[in-house]
Amino acid sequence: MTSWDSQHYRIQAQKNNISQEVIAATIETGKRVVKSNSSLVPVFTLRHLAYLADADFQFLRHVVERKEVDPYDTFRIKKNGKENTESFRIICVPDYRLMRVQKWIVDNILNYTRTHEASFAFTKGKNIKGAATLHCGCKWMIKMDVRRFFESISEIAVYRVFRNLGYEPLISFEMTRLCTRLGTYTKARRRKQWRSNAYQQEIHTYFNCKIGHLPQPLPLRRAVKYRWCWGSAW
C-alpha cells in the first residue's frame, strides 16, 4: 500500500462533496498518524477500516459491540515439560473475517512501530542468536514464565498503543475491541481493574462493564505484546 497523501485525499474528498470542515479535520488526523511513522496507514472510522481491509462493516461493528457470540474458537494445550494439570495455554482462533482485519492491522500499523530495545522476538533485524549473545559469559541465567501473560494485557493497554500512534480515540477504541476478547469470567476477572464504570458513552451499544484482554495466539498478538511492553502500564 502506498503512503498516505493529504493532497490526494483532499482532491478526492472535494470531488465527493465532503465539507471543508471534515476535510480539514481528517487531514489533521492523518498528518498526526504519519508523523509518528510515515509508513503508517491512517484509519479514520470503522467503516474506513472495513473498506481498507476488505471486510464486512456490520460484522466488525458487532464484534466491537461484543453483543454477538464470541468470534473465537478456543482450546487448551499443555505447556512443554509441564506435568501440572494447570500448566496449559488457552489458544484462541479468530473467525476468518476477524483474522483478515487483524492481519491488516499488523501489516499496515503494528509492523511499523518500535519495540523495546530488550525485545528480540518477532522483530525485524533481530534474531535468537543476537538475544543469546547478550548472555555470553554470564554465570547465571534466570528463566521466567509469566502465567496467563497474554490474558494479563488488558484492552486499556492495547488502546494506548493505538492512541500513542496518533489515531483518534474512537477508532483506537474500535480497533482495540477487534484485537481483544472478553474471555471467561475467572477469579482474576472479578477484580475491579477488569470492570468498567464508563456508563456515559456516546455510542451506548459499545458499553460493556467487562474489560477484554489480548488473546493467544492472534495474528497481531506478537506485535501488540512487544509494543505494549515498550512502556505501557496496565
Above pLDDT 70, what percent of the chain? 73
Q: Calculate mean pLDDT across residues 137-149.
A: 77
Between CA 26 and CA 17 the distance in angstroms is 14
pLDDT for the residue numbered 62: 94
pLDDT for the residue numbered 2: 66
Q: What angle do CA 159, 165, 169 make, to 5 degrees?
A: 45
pLDDT for the residue numbered 97: 94
Question: pTM of the full predicted structure?
Answer: 0.80
pLDDT digits (tens, 9 = 90+) for 43-82: 999 999 999 999 999 999 999 998 767 888 888 777 765 5
Q: Which amino acid is at 215?
A: P
Element housing 49 (H / E) = helix 46-52
Q: Out of 181-185, 188-192, 230-234, which region has the weakest mean confidence (pLDDT)?
A: 230-234
pLDDT digits (tens, 9 = 90+) for 103-135: 999 899 988 877 666 666 666 677 778 878 888
Question: In 3D, which of 99, 220, 97, 93 has the Cα closest to residue 162?
Answer: 220
Residue 223, C-alpha cell as written in the block? 506485535
Residue 54, C-alpha cell as written in the block? 476488505
Confidence label for 197 from pLDDT (cuts 50, 70 and 90): low
Confidence label for 224 from pLDDT (cuts 50, 70 and 90): low
Question: In 3D, which of 126, 122, 105, 113 has the Cα closest to residue 228?
Answer: 113
pLDDT for the residue numbered 226: 47
Average pLDDT of the chain?
A: 81
